[in-house]
Amino acid sequence: MNHPHLDALVIGAGFGGIYQLYSLLKLGFNVKLIEKAPGVGGVWFSNNYPGATTDTASYLYRYTWDKDDLQSYLWANNYLSRDEVVAYLDHVVDKHNLRQHIRFSTEMVAADWSEAAGKWHVKTDQSEVIATTYLVMATGVFTRPNVPKIPGMGTFRGPVMHTASWDNNVDIVGKRVGVIGCGSSGIQVSDAIAPIIAELHCFIRHPPYSIPLRFRPVPSSERSDINSRYNEIHAAQLLSKLALDIGEPDTKTLSVTEEERQQTFESLWRDGNSFRFKYGGFGDLASNAEANEEACKFLRAKIRSIVKDPAKADTLTPNDLFTRRPPCDQGWYEMFNQDNVFAVDIQETPITAIEENGIRTSDGKIHELDIIVLATGFQSVRDNGINGRGGVSIGDYWAEEIKTFLGIFIHSFPNLFMVNGPQGPFSIAPVTIETEVDFISEMLSYLRNTDRVDAVVECTLDKETEWVTLCGRSADTETLENTVSSELTSTNIAGAKRSVIFFYNGLKQYRNHLQEVKDMEYRFLLS
Ligand code: NAP
């Protein structure tokens, strides 16, 4: 890197990092971006498993700030494949000449706040130290794959691949494949590979409620209609909770007759998409256990009506509430009607070991396999080598619970900002990211324009505590998350402590909180 002394260093070339780089360059800051992968995409770059697809509509899964691009960059189907997302971000980077400011295959290994210099010293795996006034972590929450500790993992004679590090050189055609985990990644990869492999063994601990995605081509008339309404759609997103462009009705599930309720559920199932199902029909499915149970009854009946084998249906049917982050599928339940697709209930018969020939379960059975896929998700990142005031690491600071102000700032970590980090709003990624990046960029611009470039930006402990409390309260009132272990509470990993990962009151309220801080001229942030 030619400029080791920077105004800002951005880490990560996903949606957040690319927009942050663009915004700060536009404001005239001396800024660079480093990315550990050899290409753009962030989480989409590494998650290149077969079937990787967005479950946010294509027309919303893009930046809103490039109005020309909104009109002209084509998308063919209602959802984007992983390759299309990466191609789109490549296009943006090239169109706006950002590549010259990005260094790929460069990983941040540590960052230390220097009190004396008032800067971050960022060490990379290229044996260099970059000094920067501001450090923007645009690495998201899904960076470290969760690889379960299963005895004998190293003894398996075939490939073991996590969905976040898929090896395209491995030939899966005609093979016996075991997939551990059935969140969005496990379901997507299973749906995609089932037609071409010899046997699929899905190892299922908590079966999710999965809703059909209803993937389809989008006719040009529909695209023209969306193009003509983009400004209107975007304005409505900013005033909504989830920014999903689904209306967010507030009808109570139990306020309608049984017949009306079933009709609504049926039409939501037919339209597809789990978020639409959860939030697009009734206003209280996500937060009221009684209402939620009505959806569960409908979905359990759906699963049993599709899956013909009662034993498989038992394994695939959840008993708990419809509250984890819901996956979308392209034939997940139908697939189990094939004789060569097996559902292994690992609540009933847990995995005891991985052996040379496959996976052994507690009933003594060996499930013979050629390839094992770990679709076991991610650890929420608490320790990432960042050391703030007094050398305290984020890992230590968050040992008991994750604590932020607005999901952007952490007390004791001056001039450090997170984009799409924990405790930001629970709403779809691109527009959430734009909201956070715009806030950061405006704040830095304000400091420069008011001759306060030397001011240190750090949230007060009081504000941080207040925000964590607000996030906790939002989880209590807006969700049923506390009833299950989930990545949404950071309890998907054995032994992990419960933390609130989102601000669940939604984007509109989140933006109001940001506006308040702006209106007070960033008072709680400047020393
Ligand atoms: P995930 O949602 O955390 O699911 C992990 C799965 O692995 C769960 O079924 C979990 O079971 C299972 N698992 C974890 N450890 C296990 C163990 N030791 N033994 C057996 N099973 C184990 O992970 P993901 O599917 O990779 O998704 C990660 C995030 O990315 C989610 O938010 C997801 O929705 C998102 N994502 C989105 C898309 C998209 O369409 N936009 C695509 C992929 C991923 P338990 O439930 O029992 O813990």
Ligand 1 mean position to 281 CA, how many Å? 25
Distance CA 36, CA 468 (A): 30
Distance CA 520, CA 514 (A): 10
Distance CA 445, CA 319 (A): 51
The three-class DSSP label of residue 240 is coil
Instruction: Point out the ligand 1 atom lying closest to the alpha carbon of residue 326.
Output: 34
Ligand 1 mean position to 181 CA, how many Å? 6
Nearest to 43 by CA among 33, 51, 35: 35
What was the pLDDT predicted at 493? 53
Domain spans in the chain, listed from the N-terminal domain onward: 6-144+379-519, 176-376
Ligand 1 mean position to 248 CA, how many Å? 26
Whether the predicted pLDDT of 263 surpasses 60? yes
Paired tokens of 160? 């073991």
Whether the predicted pLDDT of 78 surpasses 70? yes
Mean pLDDT of 279-293: 97
Ligand 1, residues at Cβ distance < 6 Å: 53-55, 142, 146, 148, 163, 180-186, 188, 205-206, 325, 346, 375-378, 487, 492
CA angle 113, 118, 124 (to 5 degrees): 45
The three-class DSSP label of residue 374 is strand
Mean pLDDT of 423-433: 96
The structure tokens 């933006």 sit at 511
Distance CA 383, CA 165 (A): 21
Paired tokens of 49? 């498993």
**CATH architecture, domain 6-144+379-519:** 3-Layer(bba) Sandwich (3.50)
Ligand 1 mean position to 19 CA, how many Å? 27
Mean pLDDT of 415-427: 96
- CB burial class (10 A; 0-12, 13-18, 19+) of residue 18? buried
Mean pLDDT of 366-392: 91
Contacts (Cβ under 8 Å, ≥6 apart) of 440:
20, 23, 136, 408, 417, 419
Beta strand extents in 238-368 (DSSP E only)? 328-329, 341-345, 351-355, 358-361, 366-368
Ligand 1 mean position to 222 CA, how many Å? 33
pLDDT digits (tens, 9 = 90+) for 87-104: 999 999 999 999 999 999
Longest CA pairwise span in the chain (Å): 71
Mutate to test the pocket of ligand 1, among 54, 147, 184 (most ligand atoms within 8 A of CB): 184
Task: Say which DSSP state 380 is in.
Answer: P
What was the pLDDT predicted at 487? 56
Nearest CA to ligand 1 atom 2: 183
pLDDT digits (tens, 9 = 90+) for 343-366: 999 999 999 999 999 999 999 999
What was the pLDDT predicted at 165? 94
Nearest CA to ligand 1 atom 3: 377
Paired tokens of 114? 């220097």
What was the pLDDT predicted at 490? 58
Nearest to 356 by CA among 161, 173, 160: 160
Mean pLDDT of 126-134: 96
Confidence tier at 2 by pLDDT (50, 70, 90): very low
pLDDT digits (tens, 9 = 90+) for 143-154: 789 999 999 999
The three-class DSSP label of residue 38 is coil
